[in-house]
Amino acid sequence: MPEGALPKKQKCEDHAVTKFREYIRIKTVHPTPDYDGAISFLRNYAEEIGLPFRTVEVHPARLVAIITWEGLDPSLPSIMLNSHTDVVPVFKEHWKVDPFVAEKMENGDIYGRGTQDMKSNGIIYLEAIRKLKTEGQRFNRTIHLTFVPDEEIGGKLGMEKFVVHEEFNKLNIGFAFDEGLANPTSAFTVFYGERAPWWIRVKCSGNPGHGSRFIQGTAAEKFRRIINSFLDFRAQEEKKLNGNACLKLGDVTTVNLTNIQGGVQFNVVPMDMYAGFDIRIAPTVDLQEFENKVKNWCTQAGDDVTYEFHQKCTIQDTTSINETDPWWKTFSTVCENMGMTLEPEIFPAATDSRFIREIGIPALGFSPMNNTPILLHDHNEFLNEDIFLKGIDIYAAIIPAIANRSA
């Protein structure tokens, strides 16, 4: 540095970014998420903004945090801004930085587990509310910010229990926002439904014996047939997707072989072999017809081929994106006025929105992250701070319109 020169002034980090990074550092990672740490963080956040905070225990050691901004007319159905506090495990050896330090690069990319899925949305909601409240704005409808546990392991002890809890009914929810996905283009993806996750375990039983013989009716022969049936169907759906530019991943059914078990040692033909499949069924598919297809595959594979469900979601409800729908019209008009291009899709995986839609509440999955690669559950998950801050401005424009929508 030349003599007498002053050091380059460091850019002051936005308070919202600092809070976002603090949230990432709370290790709410499975199998032992620090939910107490998250609850404490959110309680302090609510106090900082000046809003009431409470928790609802939906299952032992499973709390839903609720931050409420009461509307001018509490009798109107309220708005729900939902996010989950838990994150999926990491493989640290594949990360360029510690996934729970929330390191920020020179270009503003913030690395950490949960940056996209979905601690970003939680802070975006909070900071949008802070901004609106600081400006002195008030809205007709009450707004509830909800932070739920266990979404990443199916929501069984989280949102699924919350929506049937008496405290949820008291919230009088009329419309909800939940998580979406990043979009690598300049457009923004918004999700109005999702595929039904089925986890099926197929058991193939057959004749055992010595590994040196041609034994008939072995479990392995049936195992090969069952795998071929499932994966042949997978190939058909993939061909359908690749052959129609109008289709997105959420419009077709995916099948993946995710677990194989069987055998005791090299020279013993096993009596039982097992195959686990992760299936995500498009909402246009008749679920009973699809299960009949699975039954037929098992019958064709041979005798003593059975299946059981480890998860069987039958929710196929979708939220209207028709221009005549007042909720969609309000949301899409705000986005259009901001020059945003929306790409409505069926969510390819599963979120807590399915439980909300199942009880008749319209819900949109919307994470305002464009020009960003999709990295949920991936190594080196990151979100750029400028995209994050833009997301706050986007929700600060959406919330007033939604919360003031006429009855």
pLDDT tens across 29-42, in order? 999 999 999 999 99
- The confidence score (pLDDT) of residue 9 equals 42
- The confidence score (pLDDT) of residue 406 equals 86
- 204 pLDDT higher than 70: yes
Confidence of residue 101 (pLDDT cuts 50, 70, 90): very high
Q: Which two tokens stand for residue 21?
A: 């990074």
Confidence of residue 111 (pLDDT cuts 50, 70, 90): very high
pLDDT digits over 147-175, tens only?
999 999 999 999 999 999 999 999 999 99
Going from the C-alpha of 311 to that of each of 179, 276, 318, the distances in angstroms are 21, 11, 20
- The confidence score (pLDDT) of residue 8 equals 44
Mean pLDDT of the chain: 96
Active site residues: 86, 151
pLDDT digits over 240-297, tens only?
999 999 999 999 999 999 999 999 999 999 999 999 999 999 999 999 999 999 999 9
Fold agreement (15-180+351-403, 196-312) = no
pLDDT digits over 293-305, tens only?
999 999 999 999 9
- The confidence score (pLDDT) of residue 6 equals 41
**How far apart (Å, rounded) are the C-alpha atoms in residues 273 and 206?**
9
Confidence of residue 4 (pLDDT cuts 50, 70, 90): very low
- 22 pLDDT higher than 80: yes
Q: Radius of gyration over alpha carbons of the chain, in Å?
A: 24
Going from the C-alpha of 43 to that of each of 51, 101, 162, 396, the distances in angstroms are 10, 22, 19, 22
Q: Across residues 93-122, what is the average pLDDT?
A: 98
pLDDT digits over 317-368, tens only?
999 999 999 999 999 999 999 999 999 999 999 999 999 999 999 999 999 9
Q: What is the 3-state secondary structure (H, E, C) of the chain?
A: CCCCCCCCCCCCCCHHHHHHHHHHCCCCECCCCCHHHHHHHHHHHHHHHCCCEEEEEEECCEEEEEEEECCCCCCCCEEEEEEECCECCCCHHHCCCCCCCCCECCCCEEECCCCCCCHHHHHHHHHHHHHHHHCCCCCCCCEEEEEECCHHHCCCCCHHHHCCCHHHHHHCEEEEEECCCCECCCCEEEEEEECEEEEEEEEEECCCEECCCCCCCCHHHHHHHHHHHHHHHHHHHHHHHHCCCCCCHHHCCEEEEEEEEECCCCCEECCEEEEEEEEEECCCCCHHHHHHHHHHHHHHHCCCEEEEEEEECCCCCCCCCCCCCHHHHHHHHHHHHCCCCEEEEEECCCCCHHHHHHCCCCEEECCCCECCCCCCCCCCCEEEHHHHHHHHHHHHHHHHHHHCCCC
- What is the CATH T-level fold of the domain 196-312, as seen in this structure? Alpha-Beta Plaits (3.30.70)
Residue with tokens 């970003």: 120
- 371 pLDDT higher than 80: yes
- 235 pLDDT higher than 50: yes
- 405 pLDDT higher than 70: yes
- 2 pLDDT higher than 80: no
Q: How far apart are the first and last CA of the chain?
A: 64
- What ranges do the domains of the chain cover? 15-180+351-403, 196-312
- The confidence score (pLDDT) of residue 20 equals 98
- The confidence score (pLDDT) of residue 31 equals 97
Q: Is the pTM of this model over 0.85?
A: yes
| Domain 15-180+351-403 CATH class label | alpha beta
384, 108 Cβ separation under 8 angstroms: yes
pLDDT digits over 126-137, tens only?
999 999 999 999
Confidence of residue 312 (pLDDT cuts 50, 70, 90): very high
- The confidence score (pLDDT) of residue 7 equals 44
**How far apart (Å, rounded) are the C-alpha atoms in residues 73 and 77?**
9
